[in-house]
Amino acid sequence: MSNIAAIDLGSNAARITIASLDDHQHLRFVDAGREPVRLGQDVFSTGRISPETLKKLIISFARFRSLLDKHQVQRIRACGTSALREAENRTEIVSTLDELTGIELVLIDGQEEIRLVSCAVCSKLELDQKRAILIDIGGGSVEVAFLHNGQISLSRSFQMGAVRLLHLFGPQIGEHERSIELVRDYLAPLKSYIRQHRGQTKEDLFIGVGGNIEALTYLRKQTLDPNSLDLLYLNELKQLIARLQALTVEQRMVTLDLPSDRADVIFPAALVLEYLLIHSGFSTITVPHVSIREGMLIELARDISGKNCRFVL
């Protein structure tokens, strides 16, 4: 039995997942952590990560280091995504974190993001003989992939993540219908891409991943249907959007029990999800509750054992 870890430094937060790998190539969840360090707020405004944000990042990675040491983690994979790869001072940030915490970040592009996410999705869902559209709504980017038999046939990354939209359109998104119309106009390339590349055979599944999508499923369970976290229907999503729109960020925190760094970005993320769902021709979203980190862990485990590995309860 050995412990391995994956770290994802995104535009809205830094996250860590630790898992154990046994001799039967089974992965089991051990521990996890999330630090609300919003790199995108700096990078999408100034192009750089500020000294203040770097200090928060160092503290967050020091906490991750403590978790790694506590669980005697033997192998780590750490990736930086949209905001970090766009930051002008990314080399300095990566070097500082490595020097102070011993955690070496590797920058990955949108294609690698969606490949790792699809690896995690395929470990959770049975996709043989199926076609699917896979959507990953992050803070800085939105990844769209077409899957066939669990393999990516086509994918593309769009700079339309929830934190980026919040920066572009301001915290007043949703206060007026015109602001929502402007967001939808901005999302038009997503519609064009999907319509251009959909095959003659309709896809079987629309799969959604990302922290905001998972938060929407919890809101669905809390307010609409207590029975499932694995599906979200278009009509329910529209109801959730209407409820979020009617509340201020502060009210979402109190009424819906959302953390501050989720309460503001969940609304633009919900608009993106609704837009993609409508223009993909689906009324149901399948939510597998996996992330890039599960994909990283599966590949790390395979590198260690030389065999295919999977998560078990």
List pLDDT tens digits, range 34-53. 999 999 999 999 999 999 99
List pLDDT tens digits, range 185-198. 999 999 999 999 98
Q: Say yes or no: 239 and 279 in one domain.
A: yes
Report, as an integer, the average pLDDT of 55-64. Answer: 98
Q: Say yes or no: 74 and 179 in one domain.
A: no
* 200 pLDDT tier (thresholds 50, 70, 90): low
List pLDDT tens digits, range 247-289. 999 999 999 999 999 999 999 999 999 999 999 999 999 999 9
Residue 198: which CATH number? 3.30.420.150
pLDDT of residue 126: 92
The tokens for 157 are 């990354």
Alpha carbon 249 to chain centroid, angstroms = 21
Cβ pair 85, 109 in contact under 8 A: yes
The answer to whether position 291 is within a domain reads no
Mean pLDDT over each residue of the chain, to the nearest integer: 94
Q: Which residues, in sequence order, are CB contacts of 239 under 8 Å at separation 6+?
A: 224
Report, as an integer, the average pLDDT of 113-124. Answer: 95
Q: Say yes or no: 258 and 230 in one domain.
A: yes
Measure the CA–CA gap between 153 and 296, rounded to whole angstroms: 20
Maximum alpha-carbon separation in the chain:
57
Q: Say yes or no: 63 and 98 in one domain.
A: yes
Of the chain, the percentage scoring pLDDT greater than 70 comes to 99
Residue written as tokens 């994979």?
77
Q: Say yes or no: 99 and 141 in one domain.
A: no
* 141 pLDDT tier (thresholds 50, 70, 90): very high
The answer to whether position 297 is within a domain reads no
Which domain, by its residues, includes 214?
A: 126-286
Number of domains within the chain: 2
Residue 42: which CATH number? 3.30.420.40
Q: Say yes or no: 162 and 16 in one domain.
A: no
List pLDDT tens digits, range 226-250. 777 899 999 999 999 999 999 999 9
The answer to whether position 222 is within a domain reads yes
Neighbours of 92 (CB within 10 A): 13
Q: How many CA atoms lie within 13 A of 235 on its CB side?
A: 2
Measure the CA–CA gap between 239 and 222, rounded to whole angstroms: 13
